[in-house]
Structures are given as structure tokens and as C-alpha cells.
Amino acid sequence: VQTYDGTGPQITTSNGAGEVVTPAPKGLVSAPASPVRAQRWVLTGSRISEGVRSQIAVYNPGSKVAEVDVVLGYQDPQRFSDIAPLELSIRPRQHVMVDLNTVEDLEPDSDVWIDVRSLDSQPVVVERVSVYGTPSEQVGVATQLASPVGARNWLVVQGGATQSSGGSVQVANPGPSDAQIKVFVLEKNNRRELTGAATKLNANDRRVLDLEGAGEGATVIVEASHPVVVSSSQVQRSGLGISLSPAFAFPETIAAFGPVS
């Protein structure tokens, strides 16, 4: 657990197209430690916009150097040019922070998902750290552990919005096959299909699900025809507060990510 009081200096980074200024972080961060190491990790998304600073932390707990690619993919990738992988060499028991604000040629006001791949069988651990401040509508700081597996079924304990907070559920499909997505709301031990949330998610793409009609603070199940990764976020409508959380995979539907080509 870490706390930030917002009294530090502004953070200035450069991505080749100009400087990006983010206010000093303010908020409380709590995140679980990772019980596993893996050769591949996926994060469902991060916003690239003014007032938002996201970093990808990659830790090498092993005894050998880890050669790692950080691959960024746009939502609706056919609309944009491909992003060259970010190549890292991480010494044993060291970590590297990748600041997305410093990545050249990233489209502003866009959403990306993150695929971190260890290329030499050396397992690593990955998490995201995001700071939100003016002029972003949200204010706060949050961390999220990446997912080392895909699954066909995921449980999101609180996916819907409430009176005091907005909620969203994000899905990333690391491929290689397109996935048909269905969403169900749990209501008094019954499952109600949220037909408006159904969608086709192409390989190597991501989406924010349409949860209109889910109900306040709804618990939802996301079902996919092929393994995907699911996470959720909660944002206070006024004042300070952001949380980013991985969803819970149904164990019997978990599938290891395919080999990296």
C-alpha cells in the first residue's frame, strides 16, 4: 500500500512530439503481489491522453538476464500504423519502468492494450501504474497486476456503475482467433444475458463492454468463444478515487498464452 499527497513536482516527459506534463500523483494505491512468474503477460488497456501517465513495470526475479518485448496494440488497430515493440534487457532481480508518455508516435487520445513477452524463456512479473490528474476528468493513482493467462469465462464482482462511481469492463483478445463475447448479469442466483453487450472481438484487439441495463454495481460474467483477458475499473464521479482490477478467471476455462512468434 502506498499513499501520495499530490505535493510533489509535476512530471514532465517527452515522446518526440513534445512535452507531456502530468500533475504529481494524489491518492492511495493498493495492489496484490504476484504468486506466479510467467513468460507472457497481458493488460487490457491504458489511455493515452493529456493528464494521464501510465507506466508498465517489468520485474525479472530470476538469475539470468531477461530479454523482453513490450508490444502495444491500439483499439481498432486497422485504423492506425503498427507500433514497434519496445525492447528491454532486464538484469537479474531488477525492474524496468516503461513510461507510455515517452513512446514516440503513439496517437493521442487513444486506447492501447499491452502484451509483454519474455523472449528467452526467462519468466518475469508485470504490472501497470497509472496517474490521473488535470485536465483528465479523473483524479487518482492506481496499479493493476497484468494477467499471465487467458480464459473463456471471467467473473467481475462489480462491473456496473453506482450512484457515486462509474464502472467499466475491458476485454483484450491476444489472439490468434477472433472471439465472440457474451455478458451475463448475476441476479438472485440467476443469470440474465445482457444482449446489448454481446460483440465480436477480433484477434489482437480490445473493447470496453457496453453494460447499459446491467444495473447498479452489477456482478457480471464474461463468456468468450476463445481465451481472452478481462479487467474492470471504478472511478469516483466526484473527488478522488480510481481502482483497476483484474477479473477472476474460471479455473476450468483457463488457457496458457500461445508461444510468441
Cell of 117: 513477452
Q: What's the average model confidence in pLDDT over 135-140?
A: 75
From 61-65, 213-217, 225-229, the region with the lowest mean pLDDT: 213-217
- Gap between the terminal Cα atoms of the chain: 37
CA neighbours closer than 13 Å in the CB half-sphere of residue 116: 35
Tell me the DSSP string of 149-201: EEEEEEEESS-S--SSEEEEEEEEE-SSS-EEEEEEEEETTEEEE-GGG-EEE
Question: Can the peptide bond before residue 176 be classed as cis, meaning omega within 30 degrees of 0?
Answer: yes
Q: What is the pTM of this model?
A: 0.87
CB 207 within 8 A of CB 171: yes
Residue 47: exposure state from Cβ atoms within 10 A (0-12, 13-18, ≥19): middle
Question: Can the peptide bond before residue 135 be classed as cis, meaning omega within 30 degrees of 0?
Answer: yes
> What is the share, in percent, of the chain residues with pLDDT greater than 70?
86
pLDDT tens digits, 49-108 = 777 888 999 999 999 999 999 999 999 999 999 899 999 999 999 999 999 988 888 888
Residue 236: pLDDT over 50: yes
Sequence-separated (6 or more) residues with CB below 8 Å from residue 251:
none
Residue 186: pLDDT over 80: yes
Confidence at residue 261, expressed as pLDDT on a 0 to 100 scale: 57
Domains of the chain: 1-148 (2.60.290.11), 150-255 (2.60.290.11)
